[in-house]
Amino acid sequence: MKSKLHLSKKVISILALAVCCLFFNTTNAQGGYVLVDYMKVKPGMNDKYLECEKVWKIIHENRKKQGKISWWHLEETMWPSGTSAEYDYLTVTYVKNWDAIGHLWDNWQAEVKSIVPADKMAFIENTNQYRDIVKSEIWHDVDFAAKPGFKEANYLVENFFKVPPGGWDDYVEMETRFVKPVHLKNIELGNRAGWEMGRMVAPMGEDQPYNCSTVDLYDKWEDMDNDEGKAWETIYPGMSDAHIGHRINAARKHVRSEIRHVVDSTEK
């Protein structure tokens, strides 16, 4: 569902962590799964594609009502962008468990006919004329934290990482025990709306360029430029940037980061 880390010592006390749990929507393991489809819009078809997604949203909202999905949203890639960009949009669908993925398309044609207005059916039938699916992935939602009352972000930064073989436990420890308290402090300070951590479960293999990511969630564009150094200094007073950087980079390789805008959502 993530950003540049500004840096700076000391171990968080158990009391401080307990206070964090009181003030944030946060869990140690979400346990759900996320289906991501990466879309490349065909030349001249951007407006038609967005109209098409509006119609598909009717189906997503119905599936949410039935409990088949938790929520869905549409993201536009802002950077990187342009004709040479691999994809322009992502559709992101959250489900509660692995079994839900296997039944997501059960009787879908009958479902479409029963809820999509007749004058909108052409968009469903012609979906492939507006965009190509570049690739699809399944992610496990490992951890999440957000401000109270959070429903949906407007902007996000996704950071893709490659964790070396046998390094997953070290990576999780780094993200959830070392860095996450800083994310919680940044949420408390209003620097961001939330944070999410995921592990890619399909496709898999050593040839994949990345296998996990974190996502920084923001309400406003300006929030992405907030100074997060205060949060680091508050959580780890006096800890050097070099030490923080080594602790983080030793656990994973940063492959790339993307900035996206949430265009539509079942939560909007």
Cα-based angle 261, 216, 48 (whole degrees, multiple of 5) = 15
Structural domain boundaries enclosing 96: 14-265
Q: Rounded distance, CA 112 to CA 106, Å?
A: 11
- Whether 38 is in a domain gets the answer yes
| Tokens found for residue 246 | 């080594």
Amino acid at 200: M
Neighbours of 229 (CB within 10 A): 13
* CATH code of residue 159: 3.30.70.100
| Tokens found for residue 50 | 């967005």
- Whether 2 is in a domain gets the answer no
Report pTM: 0.88
- Whether 3 is in a domain gets the answer no
The 8-class DSSP code of residue 205 comes to S
pLDDT tens track for 76-126? 999 999 999 999 999 999 999 999 999 999 999 999 999 999 999 999 999
- Whether 19 is in a domain gets the answer yes
- Whether 231 is in a domain gets the answer yes
| pLDDT at residue number 157 | 98
- Whether 5 is in a domain gets the answer no
- Whether 68 is in a domain gets the answer yes
Average pLDDT on 231-257 reads 98
Q: Rounded distance, CA 214 to CA 76, Å?
A: 17
| pLDDT at residue number 4 | 34
Average pLDDT on 164-193 reads 98
| pLDDT at residue number 60 | 98
Number of domains composing the chain: 1
Residue 26: what are its φ and ψ, rounded to 5°? -145, 145
- Whether 4 is in a domain gets the answer no
pLDDT above 70: percentage of residues in the chain: 89
